[in-house]
Structure 1
Amino acid sequence: MAASTPLVALGEIRSCLLPSAAALGRVEAGELLALMPGRAVRWRERPGTLAVSPTLAVGVDCDLRLGAGTARIVGTVATNVVLAGGRLLQSSAYTRVVRARERRRQAWSHYVSRVGVTEVIDRVPERATVGPTLVEGYLADRPPAGEEPILDLSSISERLLARIRSVPALDQEPPMRTAGTRLRWTALVGGSAGPRVELVLDDEFTRSVRLIVRTEEDLTAAQRFCEDLAAHDWLLTVTAAALEQADRFGSLSRERLDILSPVLEYFTGLWMPGAHTPAALRALWRDLQSDPGMSRQWNTLVDRLRDTIAVATLNALRNKGFDSEW
């Protein structure tokens, strides 16, 4: 592989429900995601709507965890916002870490011209050795031990998401209350070792993804794949949470229907694994369908969702009938 091949690509994606009572169409989505004047919002109509904002650059001068120590990086983090199905909102931040040609900080004009690229100024081992070490350091997600700041893609993506969620055009009246999720991802260029994916659920709302892709060109596809994966993981998370919440109420309670009906109405049509993943990495969905079996879990949740709503509706009708007779 070329000496200029990135050491690693690092990213973070926040996913949540758009704070709006109505789903956004093409015009409204374009207005919401127009982060940069003169740059168009990308739009896809089939098989489900997808809007992607222009890319913005955030300058960074900080450290990366490297084993027991750190390595200084300078450059930019690329950020963008995604809206799937007019309702599922995501903020995405990512950067490709490369070895600097000179071990000194350049003028900012040098870094701004390379959006989404950060350069390691310090001396580091060869790519085959340092790449996996950078992956583990990033996903460890520990607070910094020293005084120097550590690359914090979490804060960058969270700030962008907060900016979009607070736009005055949004009425802040979503059809239901849901939690957000966080997906951290890494990608290494591994030639014939890729493509390969490993998904880990770190806690209730945080996921880690390790990717190996074949070529440097596939790193762009890796970001879109991870956004697609994060969207489907969010759907699984909020649907399972809604069923768990509904189970706290009795089968005759109106609360069960109030909790579950919006999930069935607004979310089930968004399940389209791989529909917005570039062809180079679409095969990774086949692996995820085998282990951990995301579509099997989704189908089970949706079947349970429909059955629970049907039983709750039947009980409500029976109860209403009894009240009328009485």
Structure 2
Amino acid sequence: MSVTSQPKPALGTPALSVSVDVAGPVLALGEIRTGLLPHSGPLPSDATADLLTPGPGRPPRRWERPVAHVAAPHSFTGVDCWMPSAVGRRLRGVGTVSTEVRVTGGQVVQAHTRTGLRVAGQKRRLPWSHYLAQPGTVETWGPVRAAELAEAFFAEPAASGGVLDLGGPSVHRLNQIRGSARLDRLQTYRPEQTRLRWVAVPETGTPSVVFTLRSRAVHTLLVRVPPEVMPQADELCLDIALHDWLLSSLLGLIERAGIGRADRSAVVATLAPAVDHLIHAWLPGARLGPVLAELRAEADRVSGLSAQWASAVSRVRDQIALAAVEQAVRQRPRPSRVGEP
């Protein structure tokens, strides 16, 4: 098992440079938007479930341990578009993409749109009933070159000009959720939203993941997993996206706090949202199966996400402790001198 964490784009990975022309799934890809619900505090589990229920008879999935987690039913969007290409190759795809919204801890919201690619058996457009019968799948009219597609999909800006765009459905669903009357929009903490784009490829050899920081807000994952684990690969990506957002948000608070320059009470006031909204939600790999949990742990070790998180949390707690000590010293009665009244 191997894992790589890179500060720059990892393009043209040799292991993905082979053209694939088979009837089965070639790869899967998705985009995850992670942020905070516009609400004054965490929602109770029942309220979160109501928020994510699209209609009667379609209840969301719920978990209470080790942290409250609610996942809305999938919605599907039909697409007929070009596939991303780093060299301008015109590869058409027709099918559907799947969008899901999840809320962790009653406040961290993730909108995730994904699809799986397979090579079409016939190079002609079939009736929509054919594509609707295999939801969350896009058929391409030609071989998929995984390295080329991943390079283009990971690149900025977002897809345009009739090219597959997985961010649009996620933004649409997020806007629907954020506009709900169940949310009071009185939050005092407004962290940046992050976008994680991922590509998963079936691999009979050693599983691996490449995690790349493309920009402040856009990060990418290139995952290779055994074919039988491919249907669950997006769970690994969702988990990494959640914890990547938590770390990015915490580092943003520390950066804005002005530690060492600003007054200690002002520093602690800036860092307070870390305690209210972030620290308690850090539980990497909590809902992953054995294979993905092992890969997640190795990715954590190599990328240093948990190590950086632990260091950042310690820094926040040290500032709170120092502020308490300084306050106690200021309030301590001054001993009287001999002869003073």
State the TM-score, normalized to the length of structure 1: 0.90
CA contact (8 A) 2:235 2:288 kept: yes
Aligned residue number for residue 30 of structure 1: 49
Aligned residue number for residue 75 of structure 1: 95
Pairing 1:31-180 to 2, within 5 Å after superposition: 31-68=50-87, 69-121=89-141, 123-124=142-143, 130-142=145-157, 148-180=161-193
Change (3 A) 1:37 1:75: farther
- Please tell me whether residue 198 in structure 1 is matched to residue 210 in structure 2: yes
Question: Once the two structures are aligned, what percentage of the paired residues are identical?
Answer: 32
| Rg larger in structure | 2
How far 1:319 moved relative to its partner? 4.8
How far 1:94 moved relative to its partner? 0.2
Deviation per CA, 1:136-167, whole angstroms, max 9, x where unpaired? 2211235668xx51111112212211111111
Number of paired residues? Answer: 315
How far 1:86 moved relative to its partner? 1.1
CA RMSD of aligned residues (A): 2.3
How far 1:253 moved relative to its partner? 4.9
Change (3 A) 1:143 1:280: closer
How far 1:264 moved relative to its partner? 1.7
The 2-side partners of 1:278 and 1:120 are apart by: 30
Q: 5+ unaligned residues in a row in structure 2: which ranges?
A: 1-19, 337-341
The 2-side partners of 1:134 and 1:219 are apart by: 18
- Please tell me whether residue 271 in structure 1 is matched to residue 282 in structure 2: yes
Aligned residue number for residue 233 of structure 2: 222
CA contact (8 A) 1:264 1:306 kept: no
CA contact (8 A) 2:285 2:297 kept: no
Q: Name the aligned partner's letter for residue 96 of structure 2.
A: T
Change (3 A) 1:299 1:190: same
Deviation per CA, 1:94-150, whole angstroms, max 9, x where unpaired? 0001111111111112212221100112x33xx6xx2222222211235668xx511
Q: 5+ unaligned residues in a row in structure 1: which ranges?
A: none
The 2-side partners of 1:30 and 1:288 are apart by: 31
CA contact (8 A) 1:10 1:186 kept: yes
CA contact (8 A) 2:26 2:119 kept: yes
CA contact (8 A) 2:198 2:223 kept: yes
The 2-side partners of 1:288 and 1:239 are apart by: 20
CA contact (8 A) 2:211 2:219 kept: yes
The 1-side partners of 2:75 and 2:158 are apart by: 26
How far 1:171 moved relative to its partner? 0.6
Deviation per CA, 1:266-311, whole angstroms, max 9, x where unpaired? 3211111100223331111222222111111111000000001222
Aligned residue number for residue 14 of structure 2: none
- Please tell me whether residue 291 in structure 1 is matched to residue 302 in structure 2: yes
- Please tell me whether residue 234 in structure 1 is matched to residue 245 in structure 2: yes
The 1-side partners of 2:208 and 2:36 are apart by: 29
CA contact (8 A) 2:236 2:296 kept: no
Change (3 A) 1:248 1:286: closer
Greater relative contact order structure (CA < 8 Å, 6+ sep): 2
The 1-side partners of 2:327 and 2:131 are apart by: 63
SS in structure 1 of the partner of residue 59 of structure 2:
coil
How far 1:202 moved relative to its partner? 0.6
Aligned residue number for residue 3 of structure 2: none
Q: Name the aligned partner's letter for residue 182 of structure 1.
A: R
Change (3 A) 1:214 1:2: farther
